[in-house]
A and B are shown apart, each in its own frame.
Chain A
Amino acid sequence: MRSKVIPAMVLALGMVNFSGALFAHHGTAAFDTDKKVTLKGTVTEWFWSNPHCLLQFDVKGEDGKVVHWIGETQNPVTMTDGGWSKSSFKVGDEVTVALFPVKNGLPLGRIITVLLPNGKTLDAMGGTRTYK
């Protein structure tokens, strides 16, 4: 069981508009979509896979303790529509991840955006929008 350390990791909290209806696979029931958590961390793996891609990264708290986080995105096709790719991250990248955490307190969440080392921001919702 992972430790419940979300409060220590939270750098910013905010209410955001979020529509879960566009997610195609595992739904939104597990997430606290009223809470946005922003974390600075180091990428340990970017797993480009179905049904969801997984970004694994380590976050060092103010006490020096490292917590391993996993953020999910949508599937590779949807992420490609939003400008992501299999090579979006490499191990060791310093990133800032905004996500909706799971409700049960584990260091897991659904990614909203990722700020890359080059200053570019990847939008995880970019591939879920329609033209309407």
Chain B
Amino acid sequence: MLHRFTILIIVLVAAPVFSSLAFAQNERPRQPAAAQGQKAAAPKEQKSVAAPRHDISGTWAPANGPSDGIQANGVKAMPNDGKPEHQLPYTPYGQQVYKSHHALEGADAVLPGFFNDPRDKCEPLGFPRMNFYNLRETQILQNEYKIVMLYEYATTWRVIWTDGRPLPKFVDGGVQIGSEVKEPRYYGYSVGTWVDDTTLVVQTTGMMGEERVWLDTAGRAISDQLRVEERFHRVDHDRLEWTVTIDDPKIYTKPWVAMNKFPFQLEDPHRDVMEQYCSPSEMERYNKLFGNPSSEEGHGPQR
């Protein structure tokens, strides 16, 4: 009798615990359910719930407001605003590549009729520029093999492998994976490792070179020798911090932090994210009606 009673108690106690674990990735216990089509509200002071172990899945939005990730003036931690403390450690070649970029934003911005940003031809932004341009609502899905990130801008996705595979090595023409040489890709090759219960470190290599992609909207440069480290730290159930370090010896003399603990807030799991796209026909119409006329009458590049 006593034995049956003990089993009953164990079952009653264990059932809600296992139930909550099973649905941990889908529940958002402390956030009021947002209506469809509404943006996340400003974060409120409230008691935090511990982060789940090895889990960054969910729909995340910039915690300081939807515009916090636009990064119009360049990467969040080092904007291109002309301040001495934000000067990047360029190599001579890196400086040369930067000077060849005519950006529409930043300290050396040109008028709309004189840019050469590949973004404005709707070319793929590539990685890591995806992290530094219109970083808005981001959906993260994961299973035991990989983590998939769905970015809002240009409906772009990337895969971070967490199945233990090594980071590809640089070789002539691309990267080596096992005995294969693989081509450079816009979004590179990413592998992730959990360094503790709530921190995922992601390394990425094998991106496109300086002839195809920029680092940010202010014209900063990257090359095919770029290696990026990202740290995703889930501070608690509802908050995720994202740090990005740039290591590109062809362009920069030392590694530097481009985004430092950028805060994300967990959103309602039912939220339907808007699309933000780049349409060549809409871009062409904008430039014809507005962008090019606004640059007429002898205005030229600002440098």
A, B from the same assembly = yes
Interface residues, chain A, with chain B CB atoms under 8 Å away: 1-2, 21-31, 47, 49-52, 54, 70, 72, 75-78, 80-81, 102-106, 108, 127-132
Q: Report which of B66, B71, B111, B283 forms a contact with A30, defined as CB distance below 8 A.
A: B111
In the complex, what residues of A have CB within 8 A of residue B286's CB? 49-52, 54, 72
Q: Report which of B65, B217, B276 forms a contact with A129, defined as CB distance below 8 A.
A: B65
- Identify 9 residue pairs between A and B in the complex whose beta-carbon atoms are under 8 Å apart, listed by A's number: A21-B81, A23-B72, A24-B217, A26-B291, A27-B104, A27-B109, A50-B278, A52-B286, A128-B67
A27 touches B276 (CB 8 A): no
- Size class of the B contact interface (CB-based, 8 Å): 35 or more
A22 touches B296 (CB 8 A): no
Q: Report which of B112, B276, B291 forms a contact with A75, defined as CB distance below 8 A.
A: B276
Q: Do A131 and B43 contact each other (CB < 8 Å), given the known contacts A29-B109, A50-B278, A70-B289?
A: yes
Q: Report which of A21, A50, A104, A132 forms a contact with B279, defined as CB distance below 8 A.
A: A50
A108 touches B293 (CB 8 A): yes
Q: What is the minimal beta-carbon distance from A106 to any residue of chain B, in angstroms?
A: 5
In the complex, what residues of B have CB within 8 A of residue A51's CB? 120, 278, 282-283, 286
Q: Which of B70, B278, B283 has most A Cβ within 10 Å?
A: B70
B105 touches A2 (CB 8 A): no
Interface residues, chain B, with chain A CB atoms under 8 Å away: 39, 42-43, 62-68, 70-73, 79, 81, 103-105, 109-112, 120, 133-134, 136, 152, 217, 274, 276-279, 282-283, 285-286, 289-291, 293-297, 299, 302
In the complex, what residues of A have CB within 8 A of residue B277's CB? 50
In the complex, what residues of B have CB within 8 A of residue A47's CB? 285
A22 touches B70 (CB 8 A): yes
Give the secondary structure class of B's interface: loop
B290 touches A21 (CB 8 A): no
In the complex, what residues of A have CB within 8 A of residue B302's CB? 29
Q: What is the minimal beta-carbon distance from A7 to any residue of chain B, in angstroms?
A: 17
A52 touches B290 (CB 8 A): yes
The docked-state distance in angstroms from the alpha carbon of A132 to that of B62 is 11
In the complex, what residues of A have CB within 8 A of residue B67's CB? 22, 78, 81, 127-130
The docked-state distance in angstroms from the alpha carbon of A56 to that of B32 is 40
CB-based nearest A residue for B283: A51
Q: Do A24 and B290 contact each other (CB < 8 Å), given the known contacts A30-B112, A80-B274, A127-B67?
A: no
In the complex, what residues of A have CB within 8 A of residue B109's CB? 27-29
Give the secondary structure class of A's interface: loop
B111 touches A29 (CB 8 A): yes
Q: Report which of A24, A26, A106, A129 forms a contact with B112, defined as CB distance below 8 A.
A: A26
Q: What is the minimal beta-carbon distance from B231 to any residue of chain A, in angstroms?
A: 22
B68 touches A130 (CB 8 A): yes
Q: Report which of B62, B65, B70, B105 forms a contact with A27, defined as CB distance below 8 A.
A: B105
The docked-state distance in angstroms from the alpha carbon of A59 to that of B81 is 37
The docked-state distance in angstroms from the alpha carbon of A108 to that of B68 is 28
The docked-state distance in angstroms from the alpha carbon of A132 to that of B63 is 9
In the complex, what residues of B have CB within 8 A of residue A131's CB? 42-43, 63-65
The docked-state distance in angstroms from the alpha carbon of A76 to that of B279 is 13
Q: Do A24 and B294 contact each other (CB < 8 Å), given the known contacts A51-B286, A104-B299?
A: no
Q: What is the minimal beta-carbon distance from B52 to any residue of chain A, in angstroms?
A: 25
The docked-state distance in angstroms from the alpha carbon of A35 to that of B296 is 19
B152 touches A21 (CB 8 A): no
In the complex, what residues of B have CB within 8 A of residue A27's CB? 72, 103-105, 109, 112
B294 touches A108 (CB 8 A): yes
Q: What is the minimal beta-carbon distance from B248 to any residue of chain A, in angstroms?
A: 24
CB-based nearest A residue for B273: A77
Q: Report which of A21, A30, A77, A81 forms a contact with B294, defined as CB distance below 8 A.
A: A30
CB-based nearest B residue for A20: B72
Q: What is the minimal beta-carbon distance from B96 to any residue of chain A, in angstroms?
A: 23
Q: Report which of B62, B73, B297 forms a contact with A105, defined as CB distance below 8 A.
A: B297
In the complex, what residues of A have CB within 8 A of residue B103's CB? 27
Q: What is the minimal beta-carbon distance from A2 to any residue of chain B, in angstroms?
A: 7
